[in-house]
A = this chain, B = another copy of it.
Amino acid sequence: MEIIRETPVNAVIDAHGALGMVASLKAMELAIEKGKANTIGIVGLHHCGHAGRMGDYPIRAAAEGMIGIVLLNGGGRLMHPFGGSARRLPPNPIAISVPRKNGEPLLLDMTLTVVAGGKVNLKAAREEEMPEGWMIDPSGQPVFDPKALQNKPHSSAIMPLGGFQFGHKGFGLGFMIDAIAGGLSWAGCSQTKPTRGASGIVMMAIKIEAFIDLEAYQQEIEYLVEWVKSSPKLPGVQEIYVPGDIESQNQKQRLENGIYIEQSTWDQID
C-alpha cells in the first residue's frame, strides 16, 4: 500500500493488489484518523482485491461518533443505462452509517441496481426463477432465468433502481457514484477497459461534533427512527424497518441457528 496524494483531510492509496478487505479497512481507519483530527477524512483507494461487504467500513466511523460513507464503482458491470439494454455500469454500492442514541449505529448498504449480482447468483444456486423487474433482455422483455447473469452477458442486464418508470434515478445516482469513486480513487470510471481496473473505493468519515453536539445528533436520529416506525403499516406488513434492522435481526438469528447454504454452494466450497 502506497499513499500517492495526501492532505490533512484526504489521501489516495494505491493498494498494489493488496487483499481488498485489509486495504479497505486501512483506508477507513485513515479516513477516521483524519476526520478526528481535522473534521473530515476522505480516502480514495484503487488496485485492491474484492473488498467484501461495503457496510463493514462505515459502521467503524459511526462507532467513533462520526458519519461514515463509502462509495464503490465496482461489482462487475451488469446494469443497463436507463433507455439502454446492454451492461454498462456496476451496481455501484453506497453504504452510510450514523450513530443513534439507543442502539447500534444505523447502516444502509445498497446497490443502485434493483438487486446485487449476488442475489441473482443465489437464485441460480437455488434453482429458482427471478421475478419480473430484475433483469431484461435486449428487447426489454423480462429475463426469468438467473443463470443468464453468467451465461448471457451480451443479452441480459440487471435493471437500475426504479426500473422502466423511474430508472433514470437509480441509473443517475449509480453514474455519479462511478464518477466520484472511479474518478477520485484513480481506479478509473467504467468504460470498455477502465484506466486502472475500476473498483475504486472512496471512504469518508465526518466528525459530527464539529457540526453539532454528538448527543444532540444521536437524539435527532432517535426521533427520526421513532417517527418513521410510528407509520401505520400496509396490509400484511409485520414491522417497519429502518436501515440496518433486518441485518441485525438476521445476524442474531444466524448466530443462534446457523446459516442456510444450498448444496450447490457447499459443493463449490468443498
Contact = CB atoms under 8 A, between A and B. Distances in A.
Nearest to A243: B172
Given A10-B210, A162-B114, A184-B211, A227 B192 contact: yes
A228 B175 contact: yes
A203 interface: no
A212 B5 contact: yes
A189 to B, nearest CB: 4
Most chain-B CB neighbours within 10 Å: which of A140, A176, A192, A229? Answer: A176
A92 to B, nearest CB: 11
Most chain-B CB neighbours within 10 Å: which of A84, A94, A185? Answer: A84
Question: How many copies of this chain are found per oligomer?
Answer: 2
A182 B216 CA distance: 12
Task: Give the interface size class of chain A.
Answer: 35 or more
Contacts of A80: 231
A80 B234 CA distance: 10
Contacts of A189: 220-221, 223-224, 227
A202 to B, nearest CB: 9
A173 B234 CA distance: 20
A227 B191 contact: yes
Most chain-B CB neighbours within 10 Å: which of A38, A67, A140, A175? Answer: A175
Nearest to A6: B210
A115 B224 CA distance: 22
Interface stretch (A39-47, A121-129, A259-267): A39-47
Interface of A: 5, 7-10, 12, 38-40, 42, 44, 67, 80-86, 88-89, 94, 96, 98, 106, 108, 110, 114-115, 131, 133, 136, 138-140, 161-163, 165-166, 168-170, 172-173, 175-176, 178-180, 182-186, 188-192, 194-195, 206, 208, 210-212, 217, 220-221, 223-224, 226-235, 237, 239-243
